[in-house]
Every structure is written in structure tokens, then in C-alpha cells.
Amino acid sequence: MRITRASLIRIAKETVQERTFNDQAIIAAYLAGSLLTEEPFIGGTADIDLVFVHSEAPAQRREIVPLIDRIHLDIAHRAKKEYDSPRELRVNPWLGYEIYDPMLLYETRHFFEFTQASVRAGFHEPLAVLQRAYQLLEHGRQIWMDLQRNPSNPGPTQIAKYLKSINHAVNAIAELNGPPLPERRLLLDFPARAEAAERPGFAAGVLGLLGGTELDASTLTDWLPAWKEAFLAAAKSSTVDARIHAARLGYYEQAFEAMLGNENPLAALWPLLRTWTLAAAVLPEEQTSGWLAACQRLALTGDDFTARVQGLDHYLDDIEEMLENMAAVNGLEPSEVF
């Protein structure tokens, strides 16, 4: 089968048509994610991000549906009540952009039309932009504070929290000039977002927090077999993060291979390390030796991890100072934004 953006959008429409015919509780459905862009593929792979809005709380929140080796549906299920306050959605750093400009595929009673119009009002005003960025920063700071309780001898759970804090910090900067960055594209697209925020040094800073400043493509390539083994083992667990699913193996693996062969191979570090850490979190210790060796190479273990967490503290402080300066330039009082 020839995979194109148009063919995947067609699959999305057919899926929505089938689901809404068989489930009267669905009141809206829309396409989000990479297929809204002109270049959704990395290494010839992409997923189809669909959102179904239900009249009541859905039985499941996320659903991965395999299609072919490289392609799968990633379906989010949400309740109508989650859309009841458009004013709050407008400053929601994740849902705000999702609702702002998706591809609407189904709705009843003009539900989505009303919600979207309310969200779009003032969406790009400095106050709303800064409020979304500050929410992300605060989430990152809260995770950092939690890490202070056990800063040394980290396991997969602690390192996963550390990476989650970095993700929030990066997107606090990225959302000043666009939607949040998807997992596979985070290090690919962040330099341009940092440049647009007039803080290009933030891009090098995040690579430093990940321990990647002295890595090369060959090291990441050498890690792939151990990553793959851990990914497939963890995908069998009922408690693993939803993104660690056997149907998503090619989605990640082929993207890594493509990134490792381009001019910015270290862009593969973020999705590789994050998925590997999530997999390690549900595996017995004897199956995480490869992950642990990689973390040691990245200086994310023992006392080195304590130093990384301190570096994260400084990174978060720099973002907070930047946001405060932006608020002042736009004539906003701190109490309005923060």
C-alpha cells in the first residue's frame, strides 16, 4: 500500500464514519497531530491522531489500533464535560492548540463549532500565550521539586520524572511561537522555536540536560538493539505507558534510523531515551542493563544525576526570568500571568 498524507487522512475519515455510526454517544471527532502538517512523516512513518468526544465519560482514555507495520491509529477519548469551559481551554497548553485548528470530521448540534470559536477568541494575545507557557513551566517546576526528595541513586521512575520536567520546560519555550512539540520532533524542531524566542542557547541547554553534548550517531545506533528488546518486552505489560505498544515499534525505530542518517542525528536522543526509560520502568532489573549503561554514559546516574537535577533548576529559573521580562514588556502585571 502506498502511504501518503492523503491516504492516511482518508483512513481517519473512514474510521470516524464507522465509529460514529456504531456509537451514538460520540458527539464530535477531529484529526489532530502531524497529519495537519505538510510533512507528517519521519522515516516514512506517521500515526493518525484522532480525538473522539463522548457525551459521557468514555470507558478508555487512549487506544492504539494497528493498521500496517509503519502506521497506526492513536485515538484519544474524552468526555464532553472536558470542553465545558472554553476560557480555561484557551490557556490550556495541550488542549488549547488541539482545539484551535484541528480537522473537524464529525459533530452534532454544533458542539465543536461553539467551543472552538470561544477558544480562538484572544488565543494569540500576549496574556494567553504567557499563561500557557507559565502553566508548563510550573508543571516542570513541580516535578523538579518532587525529584528533590530522592535526588541520588535514581531508577527508571525518577529519570522518567526528570525527562517529563524537561518536556514541560522545552514546551514552555516552544509554545511562545506555536503548538507544543510532538515527541519525535522535539529536538528536531526546538532549535527554531528557541531562535524565534530570541533564546537560541536554550536548544544547546536541553541537549546538555540530556547528557548528549558529547554523543555521536554511532553511539545511538549501538543502543538501538537493546532499546528494541526492552520496548518489545515492556509492550507486553498491562501497566506500561500507552505509547509503549508493539504497534508503535516501527513508528519509532524507522524514525530513529532516519534521524541518525541526517544532519542532526542527536535529535533521536529524546524519543529514544524517553521511550526506553518508560519501558525500563515496568521491566525487572535484569532486563534493564542496556538502559542503565546508556544512562551512565549520559551521566544520569548516582551523583551525576544530582548535578543534572541542579542544572534543570537553573534552566527552569532562566525560563521564568524570560517569561517575567516578556510580561513586563507587554505591560502585564505578574498577578495577571503568574
Looking at the chain, the number of H-run helices and the number of E-run strands are: 14, 5
Q: Taking all residues of the chain, what is their mean pLDDT, rounded to a whole number? A: 95
Does 217 score more than 80 pLDDT?
A: yes
According to DSSP, the residues that pair with 293 across neighbouring strands are: none
Tell me the chain's radius of gyration from C-alpha atoms.
20
Burial class of 110 by CB neighbour count within 10 A (0 to 12, 13 to 18, 19+):
exposed
Q: pLDDT tens digits for 250-260? A: 999 999 999 99
Does 69 score more than 80 pLDDT?
A: no
Residue 294 CA to chain centroid, in angstroms? Answer: 22
Q: pLDDT tens digits for 124-141? A: 999 999 999 999 999 999
What pLDDT sits at residue 68?
A: 81
The CA distance from 203 to 216, in Å, is 17
Q: pLDDT tens digits for 137-186? A: 999 999 999 998 876 679 999 999 999 999 999 999 999 999 999 999 99
Going from the N-terminus, what domains does the chain have, and what CATH number goes with each? 5-120 (3.30.460.10), 126-320 (no CATH)
For 26, half-sphere exposure in the C-beta direction (CA atoms, 13 angstrom radius) is 21
What pLDDT sits at residue 272?
A: 98
- Do residues 3 and 44 touch, judged by C-beta distance below 8 A? yes
Contacts of 260 (CB under 8 A, 6+ apart): 217, 220, 221, 268
Q: pLDDT tens digits for 81-134? A: 999 999 999 999 999 999 999 999 999 988 888 899 999 999 999 999 999 999
